[in-house]
């Protein structure tokens, strides 16, 4: 199985989100022959789409940059792991740039699907592809914080998508939280194990992943006391 990780944190290797993603990948059985590729889009040369639609007509973008190689990896992937922090209730800008540059995958025609969605058909058969969103954020809430992003990903990937969302992300850098964050990482590893053997997370693991690292009132107190000196 080809697994492509798209790391969209501007913090690159120091990304908290990437730490979670690596724990998820650690759940993969080492006996299985998976090919894992991690691309960091923030340091890559990816020109913003200029909207010329030349790619839709020809299947090839007018720009010659890192997206050429990334597109090949993307199309070859059976599982795409989107690993990025939440920025303004959405995705960091370089991830959006990457997403816009996926336009060569699509044909120019417009179709209405059986469930009433309007979309461009794909030029390649990527229906087999599964998508996983792994994301951390700075607030303590998922509802009202991730709503817009989750809706967008649902429209893009429908039922072929699953997510791990971890609020209170900065706690992974807090020494006294190590025991708790370590436990959370072990549940993510379990989620990886379950995903790559059965294709979904068990109810138990999902419940553990939904638990906050720290109660919200204490979290706010800790965070604000650090900033309000
Ligand atoms: C520009 C910017 C916008 C952000 N917007 C949000 C937000 O809308 N909601 C939130 O909970 N956290 C927000 N955060 C906090 C990050 O999501 C959080 O620090 C995350 O854990 C960083 O992950 P990383 O280490 O993988 O980059 C924002 C941070 C930055 C720098």
Going from the Cα of 138 to the center of ligand 1, the distance in angstroms, rounded, reads 5
Going from the Cα of 95 to the center of ligand 1, the distance in angstroms, rounded, reads 14
Mean pLDDT of 151-165: 93
Our mutation pick for probing the ligand 1 site, out of 87, 90, 213, counting the most ligand atoms within 8 A of Cβ, is 87
β pairing state of 35-40 and 118-119: unpaired
3-state secondary structure of 35: strand
**39 near 4, Cβ under 8 Å?**
yes
pLDDT tops 70 at residue 213: yes
Mean pLDDT of 133-159: 96
Going from the Cα of 157 to the center of ligand 1, the distance in angstroms, rounded, reads 23
pLDDT tops 90 at residue 129: yes
How buried is 226 (Cβ within 10 angstroms: 0-12 exposed, 13-18 middle, 19+ buried)?
A: exposed
pLDDT tops 90 at residue 44: yes
Q: What angle do CA 89, 39, 125 make, to 5 degrees?
A: 85
Ligand 1 atom closest to Cα of 137?
17
């Amino acid at each position: 199985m080809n697994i492509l990780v798209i790391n969209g944190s501007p913090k690159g290797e120091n990304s908290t989100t990437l730490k979670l993603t690596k724990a998820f990948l650690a759940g993969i059985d080492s006996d299985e022959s998976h090919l894992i590729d991690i691309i960091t889009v923030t340091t890559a040369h990816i020109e913003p789409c200029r909207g010329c639609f030349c790619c839709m007509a020809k299947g090839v973008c007018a720009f010659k940059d890192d997206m050429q190689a990334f597109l090949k990896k993307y199309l070859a992937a059976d599982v795409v792991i989107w690993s990025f922090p939440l920025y303004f209730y959405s995705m960091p800008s370089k991830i959006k740039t990457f997403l816009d540059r996926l336009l060569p995958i699509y044909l120019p025609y417009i179709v209405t699907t059986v469930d009433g969605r309007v979309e461009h058909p794909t030029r390649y058969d990527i229906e087999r592809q599964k998508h996983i969103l792994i994301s951390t954020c700075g607030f303590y809430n998922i509802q009202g914080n991730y709503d817009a992003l989750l809706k967008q990903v649902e429209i893009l990937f429908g039922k072929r998508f699953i997510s791990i969302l971890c609020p209170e992300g900065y706690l992974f850098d807090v020494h006294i939280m190590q025991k708790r964050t370590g436990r959370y990482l072990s549940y993510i590893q379990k989620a990886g194990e379950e995903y790559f053997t059965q294709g979904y997370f068990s109810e138990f693991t999902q419940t553990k992943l939904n638990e906050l690292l720290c109660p919200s009132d204490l979290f706010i107190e800790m965070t604000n006391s650090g900033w309000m000196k």
